[in-house]
Chain A
Amino acid sequence: MSTITQTETGIPTGTWQADTVHSSVAFEVPYAVATFGGAVTDFDSTLADGKLAGSARIASIQTKEENLTAHLLSPEFFDAERHPVVSFSGPVQRDGDAVEIAGEITIKGITQPAVLTGTIVGPAVDHFGATRVGLKLQTTVDRTKFDINWNMPLPNGEPALSNEVTLKAELTLVAQEA
């Protein structure tokens, strides 16, 4: 059952803050014969005057194994001690339900251009009277461009871990009173 009704088709104006309880930021990367995934839990995001900005504390990365999490935080991966935050910002372009954000992403202190694509729902008024907009976004980055180069050869000589990493964000943004 839908709880909100889409009422707008333009780029939301004003300032919108992420409701992080109803948002998520995650990653997926092909590993050996499957896809490995994880998420960060400590993040924030703001949509202001048509520009989306977001950042995440990499120390909040969650996997299913603490030693793996520790490896991801180490200098071989994110080097969270020296680069504790990953971030993104860029202007939102909307075409109906589709969005594209050509911006910049910073990981491990290195900034690269990135294009996020996805869908947008709203703005619409929710069942408590707040005005919300939903963004479902993803992009793929080459992790080696951010100095994340770890790998291990499989017996067939192929690398175990792909360089191509998909980043996903599902954001619920709430309109802030002026």
Chain B
Amino acid sequence: MRVLAISGSLRAASNSTALLRALREEAPEDVEVILWDGLKAIPPYDQDDDVVPAPVAVDALRELVREVDAVFFATPEYNASVPGALKNALDWASRPVATNAFRNKPVAVISSSAGAFGGVWAGAELRKVLGTMGARVAEAELAVGHAHEKLDENGRLADDDVRQGLREAFETLLAAAAPFEAAA
């Protein structure tokens, strides 16, 4: 199984990206976690540019999402919502609406912030956006407050409770992405 990990932050020392590096450490043997680093290359959404072929970076994102089995998001919170760069990338990925790459794609969302609430509003908004896009939003919730205090000097996750929450969110996503068998 292949899981795409998307950070909502562009910052090199991002807490969200650090959480996704920890996610990769927690991956079972048969699960590959791909850390996406293409967010900064996505141009501002402009319907005039939303043609075939799409901008290269956009095509690459859409193709990657189609190829993987699930997508795991870690987002910071800007002004009680999703960072603009991430929302912009999703606006590109969501077109065309009826057949977009995220339709039926299992996804999970965690959030983090320097404050106490852990970006809980950004997480909720991101789940709403993904649900509207047609994604299969897993019931995984993790909001990491005071996130910078949970990392060591090398930017590695050093908090056992957060690591356990991350592991549980990952397991929830993997279960949502497992082959579905209808109840008898």
Contact = CB atoms under 8 A, between A and B. Distances in A.
Contacts of A82: 180, 182
B24 interface: no
Contacts of A70: 97-99, 103, 134
Contacts of A71: 132, 134
Given A66-B98, A74-B104, A109-B182, 5 more contacts: A75-B135, A79-B136, A82-B182, A83-B182, A150-B131
Contacts of A67: 97-98
B69 to A, nearest CB: 14
A150 B103 CA distance: 16
Nearest to A110: B183
A74 B102 CA distance: 11
B101 interface: no
Contact of B134 (A66, A75, A83, A109): A75
Interface of B: 97-99, 103-104, 131-132, 134-137, 180, 182-183
Contacts of B132: 71, 76
Interface in A50-102: 66-67, 69-71, 73-76, 79, 81-83
26 contacts: A66-B98, A67-B97, A67-B98, A69-B98, A70-B97, A70-B98, A70-B99, A70-B103, A73-B134, A74-B104, A75-B104, A75-B134, A75-B135, A75-B136, A75-B137, A76-B131, A76-B132, A76-B134, A79-B136, A81-B104, A81-B180, A82-B180, A82-B182, A83-B182, A109-B183, A150-B131
A81 B182 CA distance: 11
Nearest to A65: B98
Interface in A90-127: 109
A121 B115 CA distance: 68
Nearest to A80: B104
